[in-house]
Amino acid sequence: MYFVYILQSNKDNGFYIGYTSNLEKRIHEHNSGKAQSLKHRRPLKQTYFEEFITIKDTKAREKQIKSYNGGKSFKKLINIQGSPR
């Protein structure tokens, strides 16, 4: 299984979109500072995730979510309760 996830920084309220095959481990890595790109934005909380069977579908969905650029579609997505979709 693969996951697309959205994290929100408690420090600056910004969002991060990524994908992984181990969601729990990856979020722990982000919050422990092992992921250099987000080290300065910790702590991070998971706000959304979706599960996929193939890496191809996972990457396509990550790209789609990133294309939302914080617009209506993105705001609607993160306001959906009860991840995953």
CA 6 to chain centre: 2
Residue with tokens 């092992």: 34
52 domain residue, yes or no: yes
How many domains does one find in the chain?
Answer: 1
pTM for the structure as a whole: 0.87
70 domain residue, yes or no: yes
84 domain residue, yes or no: no
Q: Are 77 and 45 in contact (CB under 8 A)?
A: no
The two structure tokens encoding residue 15: 């969002």
Domain that holds residue 25: 2-79
From the first residue on, what is the mean pLDDT of each consecutive set of 10 residues in the chain (85 residues)?
Answer: 95 94 95 87 94 98 91 84 47
73 domain residue, yes or no: yes
We report the CATH number of the domain holding residue 9 as 3.40.1440
Amino acid symbol at 58: T
